[in-house]
Amino acid sequence: MTRVTSPPETKNPIQVVERMMKLLDVLAHHPDPAPLKQIAQETGLHPSTAHRILGAMSQSGFVERGEGGTYRLGIRLLELGSLVKSRISLRETAMPAMLKLHAATGESINLGIRDGDEIVYVDRTSSGRSAVRVVHIVGARAPLHTTATGKLFLVEDGLERVREYARRTGLPASTPGSITDPAALEKELDKVRRHGVAFDLDEVENGVRCIAAGIRDDSGELIAGLSLSTPSERFNPDRAPLLREAADEISRALGYVPNRISH
């Protein structure tokens, strides 16, 4: 009787790649080295097939073979991951989503990062729809407590550090609308925490309002804020979901996985 065997993987390279990805995904879910039998079971591959592919991956450093026939992810993946991360530019990664949001709203979209007790705007799309001067130009700075993006970072700091910030800075006002009372700031930050977006209602500049959502990197750290600024008469808080969606898109492009990383 002729024994039926599975066709060699080399005859179907696409299938081999798919199986490699499946093996990597399974190994990624195991913090400790996993035995071949368990890997085969979770991938749905025949043990001999899994063993053959894992052997080739071990030779390339993508998988590391341990004692007792166990396997875990290899150092080559760390090297490649570090290389990819070093080549990712926040501004370059954010710009496609910023332009898409700009096209959808016709308003100025800003990218801001934290520098100590201030937000610095590092990129911007211009609306061209109004003569109203918007303070969010590239290189401009504003205190954390007055800006929508700054409020996102203050929420991340936690209550004690927010109180330290209030004592250290004295919460100076930029406009009559700026929050200058520590208790009022804490109440505002509680709303930001609950809704996942922050607002600046004429707090940096009279006649200009903003909505901001956070951008996180692959470690889950808040690294920037994406904000939409508009003259007060055109301000529409219903755009918040659009902004949050754009910020999430940038976060995913930077490697952020919400379900895997907790803050």
Fold for the domain defined by 15-73: Arc Repressor Mutant, subunit A (1.10.10)
Closest by CA position to 190, among listed 158, 226, 235: 158
Domains 15-73 and 84-254 fall in the same CATH topology: no
Calpha distance 122→222 (Å, rounded): 16
Judged by average pLDDT, the poorest of 86-90, 106-110, 205-209 is 86-90
Beta-carbon contacts of residue 161 (< 8 Å; ≥ 6 apart): none
For the chain, the maximum distance between any two Cα atoms, rounded to a whole number of angstroms, is 90
Better-scored residue on pLDDT, 132 or 16? 16
Q: Which regions of the chain does DSSP assign to beta strands (E)?
A: 34-35, 63-65, 70-73, 108-115, 118-125, 141-143, 198-201, 208-216, 222-231
pLDDT digits (tens, 9 = 90+) for 180-237: 999 999 999 999 999 999 999 999 999 999 999 999 998 899 999 999 999 999 999 9
Domain ranges in the chain are 15-73, 84-254
| DSSP 8-state symbol, 32 | S
The pTM of this model reads 0.68
| DSSP 8-state symbol, 4 | P
CATH architecture of 84-254: 2-Layer Sandwich (3.30)
pLDDT digits (tens, 9 = 90+) for 12-32: 788 889 999 999 999 998 889
